[in-house]
Structure 1
Amino acid sequence: MDIKVVAFDADDTLWVNEPYFRETEDKFCALLEDYMPAHTVARELLTTELQNLSLYGYGIKGFMLSMIETALRVSDNTVNNLVIEKALQYGKDLLDKPIELLDGVEDVLHTLKGKYRLVVATKGDLLDQERKLKRSGLEHYFHHIEIMSDKKVSDYEKLIRHLDIRPEEFLMIGNSLKSDILPVLQLGGHACHVPYHTTWVHETIDHTIEHENFKEATTIKDVLSMLM
């Protein structure tokens, strides 16, 4: 591989994210058990989130709005104001969660810095992702930070043009096969999947990937053996 830039996804690649969402979702669903079973509320919430992605994008603020919309819909607009207040507070608590780095992340970044240009390529709410990166203590490792509204082929094309490299000189590392791997492979870049034990259902795919530029790691530390 003639790699010049190594890009990392942020949520659930550099630090913990999805478990906090699951925890918040469970609390929200319990709030609405007077209206329907928790598993049904969870299904309704997912439907709302997916419908709202084109309006709100990815991130906690969109999740908060989707919780409120779901509460109103499943209750036929009869939900108590206290439930809305609690849903908002759950969202604010989510925004204030501590940054818990995943095992091995800082060692990998320390080893690769200076040998490659390191980049964060993540999607989500701009303010929230900037806040998490600052609080993570990892910002100084990165040559460039790219916070995307989405991770489609066109988004990666824009990033690669900005970095002034060819697709084959770009390696993307992340936990989402749908967002971090497939678009990069389609462009002719390299991609390494580092699975995380909890993944949002919207980020999963129903087929295996067979591509000469695709690699699968067990942990982020395995990336070093591929690059060093």
Structure 2
Amino acid sequence: MEINFDGISVIGFDADDTLWVNETYFRDTEDKFADLLEKYETKNKIDQELFRTEIKNLDLYGYGIKGFVLSMIECALELSNNQVAPKTVSALLDLGKEMIRQPVELLEGVEEVLQSLKDKYRLIVLTKGDLLDQERKLERSGLSEYFHHVEVLSDKKEKNYSDLLEHLQIEPDEFLMIGNSLKSDVLPLVNIGARAVHIPFHTTWQHEEVTEVVDNNGYMTMCTLTDVLKYV
């Protein structure tokens, strides 16, 4: 469904899996985690327990690699009945450091889109996760020059967006959000009167999946980021 893009003056971009690759590294690490714990449980059970632990800990740790690593260690202790070897815990810490050190891999078309839009709109980054890690990735990406503002949110719910737009003196009806998650980047914005573009990424964290049927009034789904240039 097409939407009206008239009146847009500010465009927000999600970062992970919208500007650069992220979720792929989490899936790869989950597989390595299952390999390290295979003596205690099946892979399917390990995956389920790790996800359960992550969700339980979200209120404590928030989103990002550091909370993920802590959840892996806690899950390993639980699955092993506190018998997991210290070298395995050390290996889990190394997996987290490996994730943090991953090079920033920009998604196709990102620089082309930002270069085209930077003189027409005020561009901002709205992401969630660990502040230090996200700042580091933005610096490594080479994209900082395109953005007027960068905000790392503790969560992406309607109130988070409303408070931020008010703080930045942006009216919802002049704001467009672009992201890969219906749950975090699209529906909350539509619900507060903004508009959004959904660009699915091939891998989505289970927590970000939307299973119920939703009305797409107020947002468009596009195949690639460069498709945005046909409309704005």
- TM-score higher than 0.5 here? yes
Cα deviations across residues 124-171 of structure 1 (Å, max 9, x unaligned)?
000000000000000000010011010011110112112212101000
Other-structure match for 2:3: none
Q: 1:192 aligns with which of 191, 197, 206?
A: 197
Quote how far apart the aligned CAs of 1:212 are: 3.0
Cα deviations across residues 7-35 of structure 1 (Å, max 9, x unaligned)?
00000000000000101110011000000
SS of the residue 1:16 aligns to: coil
SS of the residue 2:231 aligns to: helix
> Normalising to structure 2: TM-score of the pair?
0.96
Other-structure match for 2:90: 85
- In 2, the alpha carbon distance for the partners of 1:200 and 1:212 equals 24
- In 1, the alpha carbon distance for the partners of 2:51 and 2:24 equals 15
- In 2, the alpha carbon distance for the partners of 1:31 and 1:67 equals 11
Other-structure match for 2:116: 111
SS of the residue 1:121 aligns to: strand
Other-structure match for 1:167: 172
State the identity %.
56
Q: 1:32 aligns with which of 37, 53, 65?
A: 37
- In 2, the alpha carbon distance for the partners of 1:95 and 1:33 equals 24
Cα deviations across residues 32-63 of structure 1 (Å, max 9, x unaligned)?
00001112111100000000000000000000
Other-structure match for 1:214: 219
Quote how far apart the aligned CAs of 1:91 are: 0.4
- In 1, the alpha carbon distance for the partners of 2:213 and 2:229 equals 24
Other-structure match for 2:51: 46
- Residue 36 of structure 1 aligns with an amino acid whose one-letter code is E
- In 1, the alpha carbon distance for the partners of 2:223 and 2:168 equals 28
Cα deviations across residues 157-206 of structure 1 (Å, max 9, x unaligned)?
11211221210100000000000011101100001000000010100101
Greater RCO (CA < 8 Å, at least 6 residues apart): 2
- In 2, the alpha carbon distance for the partners of 1:18 and 1:179 equals 14
SS of the residue 2:119 aligns to: coil
Quote how far apart the aligned CAs of 1:211 are: 3.8
> Kindly tell me: are residues 223 and 208 of structure 1, through their superposed partners in 2, closer, same or farther at Cα, counting changes over 3 Å?
farther
| Number of residue pairs the alignment of both structures matches | 227
- In 2, the alpha carbon distance for the partners of 1:220 and 1:28 equals 32
Unpaired stretches in structure 2, ≥5 consecutive residues: 1-5
Q: 2:143 aligns with which of 138, 144, 159?
A: 138
Alignment of 1:94-105 (within 5 A): 94-105=99-110
CA RMSD of aligned residues (A): 0.8
Unpaired stretches in structure 1, ≥5 consecutive residues: none
SS of the residue 1:221 aligns to: helix
- In 2, the alpha carbon distance for the partners of 1:36 and 1:13 equals 34
- Residue 155 of structure 2 aligns with an amino acid whose one-letter code is D
- In 1, the alpha carbon distance for the partners of 2:124 and 2:22 equals 19
